[in-house]
Amino acid sequence: MLYAKNKTGLVFFPAFDWAISPTHPEREERLLYTQDQVFEEGIFDIEGIVEYKPDLVTKKDVQRVHFCVPDLWAVMTESHFISAGGTKTIAMAVMEKQVDCGFALVRPPGHHANRVVHGARGFCNVNIEAIMVEFIRKAYGVNRVAIVDTDCHHGDGTQDIYWHDPDTLFISIHQDGRTLYPGSGFLSEIGGPNAVGTTLNIPLPPNTSEEGMLYAIQEVVLPVLKDFQPEIIINSAGQDNHYSDPITNMNFSAQGYAQLTSLLKPDIAVLEGGYSIEGALPYVNAGIILAMAGVDYSHLREPDYDPDRIRQTPDVTRWVGKTCEKALETWHNRVQLGELARKDTQFAKRDRKIFYDTDNINEYQNETLRICEACGGTFRIDSKAHGGKHILAVHIPRNACHHCHEQGLSWYEEAASGAYDKIYLQDCAKDVIEEKTPPP
């Protein structure tokens, strides 16, 4: 009989009846062969691997993270309630110590979903990791969280949500944004003025192989995690760095993913992207599960795996080395960089244009952040979708200081309701969600 060294919880929810559209990569078939492989390997029979049925998330779970425009029901499908719910189920199993660690193998994914949601971006509507993290914080009083995003695409949604949060370390390792969607995640993106350094990006060149990915984990991620001392580590386990993925250009493998998982030792992994549904996902998912459970995976590989064919060139190795060095430098200089970013200002403003590729929406954002040494700082976002709704969203952080809390509340109260389609308040300090709509 096979035993798991680490008791491991799994939520497996392939949503066999849900697709963005019939030929979209995010379609019914996506986890079919993964299911076949996982069942055929007898993984659920391994002593110490426990399968859970996903719960549904509540409206409040979502609203703690997102400003849904025009409302939650327009943004969430039934499947989103389940996939976000699946992460919550795993979180509960881990936090209540029913299992040592857990993997939410769910779809649809979430890491491209920003705090403000006008529609779907990068196949994502709501951010299932962030919903889970905020649930964990609320239910179990956890403060310091690290999210390591190993999807091939920059985790721009998660970055957006935690941009101003000094208690959430977000590290994304991905294919260089100059060569792939969403075109962000550069070394220079290091977090907002109140949270400099707790966002780190490690953009890797196309054709990076096992060597480069594992180097970034060992040389940057692990030492930074050691410094940051998170209470919980989450892995956004996208699987599209695989050499056979149809929409990316990397050369990672099932063995590589399993080793990455063994090194990172995440408390919770959440499936993100990965669209080589036959050649990669069955083997990568099996590898991640075995690695989390501490079961030998040395015989696991893709049928066509040939390490020589996917080996990275010396150029790539050099580039990876330099990128990692710069990322580490940012981390070590984060205090000075933060002071520089805050200067003597009271408020920091930024204007952004956000494109929703999946739903073809252009959003214009104007953000005002209160500069604060004591907390993440309250902020308000004036957001308008081209041809869509115009909203004002006020966020008060969980650990808000008195000043930021007062500032957030007065922004919300003073906002002229006539100017917007809706005004939102996300008071995370009091766990209160409020909305105002103009009188008809």
Partner 1 sequence: MIIGLDVGGTHADVVLLGEEGLVRQIKVPTNPENLFDTVLTGLEKITDGIDPGTIQRAVLSTTLATNRITQRCMPDVGMIISAGPGINPEFFRTCSDYHVVSGGIDHRGRQTLPLDTDRVRDIADSLEKKGIRYVGVVSKFSVRNPAHELAIADILGDRFDKVFMGHRVSGGLNFPRRIATTFLNASVYPIHKEFFEAVVKALARKGLNLPIRILKPDGGNMRFSASLEHPAQMVLSGPAASVMGAVGFAPQNDTCLVLDIGGTTTDMAILANGAPLLDPLGITIGDHKTLIRALDTISIGVGGDSAVRVIGDTLQVGPDRVGMAMAFGGPLPTPTDAILLLGIGDQGDPDLARKGIQDIADALGVDLMTAAQQIFDQACQTILDEADAMVRRINAKPVYTVHELWEGHRIQPRHIMVLGGPAPWFAKGLERLGNCPVELVPRWTVANAIGAGLARTTCEVTLFADTEQEVVTAPEEGFTQDISSTYSKEDAINTALSLLRDKAIARGANPDHLELEVVDAIEFNMVRGFFTSGKNIRVISQVKPGLIHGFDPIARKIENRPFIQ
The stretch near partner 1 (CB under 8 A) out of 34-42, 329-337, 380-388, 407-415 is 34-42
The stretch near partner 1 (CB under 8 A) out of 29-37, 137-145, 346-354, 393-401 is 29-37
Strand partners, 348: 369
Cβ distance to partner 1 smaller for residue 89 or 407: 89
The stretch near partner 1 (CB under 8 A) out of 9-17, 91-99, 126-134, 414-422 is 9-17
Give the residue, chosen from 4, 26, 49, 52, that forms a contact with partner 1 under the rule CB under 8 A. 52
Cβ distance to partner 1 smaller for residue 295 or 324: 295
Give the nearest distance from C-beta 257 to partner 1 in angstroms.
14
Residues 6+ apart with CB under 8 A from 152: 174, 175, 180, 238, 240, 241, 245, 248, 250, 273
- Applying the rule CB under 8 A, the residues between 144 and 173 that interact with partner 1 are none
Q: Please give the Cα distance from 203 to 187 (Å, whole number).
A: 7
Give the residue, chosen from 12, 67, 379, 424, that forms a contact with partner 1 under the rule CB under 8 A. 12
Give the residue, chosen from 7, 18, 117, 400, that forms a contact with partner 1 under the rule CB under 8 A. 18
Alpha helix positions (H), 141-200? 156-162
Q: Would you name the residues annotated as active-site residues?
A: 112
Strand duo 347-356 + 268-271: pairing = unpaired
- List Cα–Cα distances, 227 to 147, 328, 331, 380, in angstroms: 14, 11, 10, 31
> How many residues lie near partner 1 (CB under 8 A)?
50
123: nearest Cα among 24, 45, 35: 24
Helix/strand/coil for 12:
strand
Give the nearest distance from C-beta 86 to partner 1 in angstroms.
10
- Applying the rule CB under 8 A, the residues between 61 and 100 that interact with partner 1 are 78-79, 82
Is residue 54 a contact residue for partner 1 (CB under 8 A)? yes
The stretch near partner 1 (CB under 8 A) out of 112-120, 172-180, 275-283, 331-339 is 275-283
Give the residue, chosen from 7, 8, 9, 37, that forms a contact with partner 1 under the rule CB under 8 A. 37
Helix/strand/coil for 418:
helix
The stretch near partner 1 (CB under 8 A) out of 17-25, 328-336, 367-375, 391-399 is 17-25
Helix/strand/coil for 315:
helix
Give the nearest distance from C-beta 246 to partner 1 in angstroms.
8
94: nearest Cα among 58, 156, 136: 136
Q: Please give the Cα distance from 293 to 432 (Å, whole number).
A: 38
Give the residue, chosen from 5, 51, 318, 352, that forms a contact with partner 1 under the rule CB under 8 A. 51
Give the nearest distance from C-beta 357 to partner 1 in angstroms.
16
- Applying the rule CB under 8 A, the residues between 368 and 397 that interact with partner 1 are none
The stretch near partner 1 (CB under 8 A) out of 10-18, 205-213, 351-359, 387-395 is 10-18
Q: Please give the Cα distance from 88 to 135 (Å, whole number).
A: 7
Residues 6+ apart with CB under 8 A from 204: 173, 174, 175, 176, 212, 213, 216, 250, 319, 320, 323
Cβ distance to partner 1 smaller for residue 42 or 438: 42
Is residue 27 a contact residue for partner 1 (CB under 8 A)? yes
Q: Are 286 and 298 in contact (CB under 8 A)?
A: no
Cβ distance to partner 1 smaller for residue 47 or 431: 47
- List Cα–Cα distances, 87 to 160, 163, 260, in angstroms: 20, 22, 21
- Applying the rule CB under 8 A, the residues between 277 and 316 that interact with partner 1 are 278, 282-283, 286, 290, 295-305
Cβ distance to partner 1 smaller for residue 79 or 262: 79
Give the nearest distance from C-beta 296 to partner 1 in angstroms.
6
Give the nearest distance from C-beta 300 to partner 1 in angstroms.
6
Q: Please give the Cα distance from 150 to 237 (Å, whole number).
A: 6
Phi, psi angle pair for 154, to nearest 5°: -55, 135
Phi, psi angle pair for 129, to nearest 5°: -70, -45
Give the residue, chosen from 4, 9, 15, 404, that forms a contact with partner 1 under the rule CB under 8 A. 15
Helix/strand/coil for 206:
coil
- List Cα–Cα distances, 257 to 193, 330, 418, in angstroms: 34, 26, 52
Q: What is the largest CA-CA distance in the chain?
A: 67
Alpha helix positions (H), 190-234? 210-216, 222-228
What is the residue type of 305?
Y
Q: Are 269 and 234 in contact (CB under 8 A)?
A: yes
Give the nearest distance from C-beta 243 to partner 1 in angstroms.
15
Cβ distance to partner 1 smaller for residue 28 or 382: 28
Question: Would you tell me which residues interact with partner 1 (CB under 8 A)?
Answer: 1-2, 11-18, 22-23, 27-29, 32-33, 35-37, 39-43, 45, 51-54, 78-79, 82, 246, 278, 282-283, 286, 290, 295-305
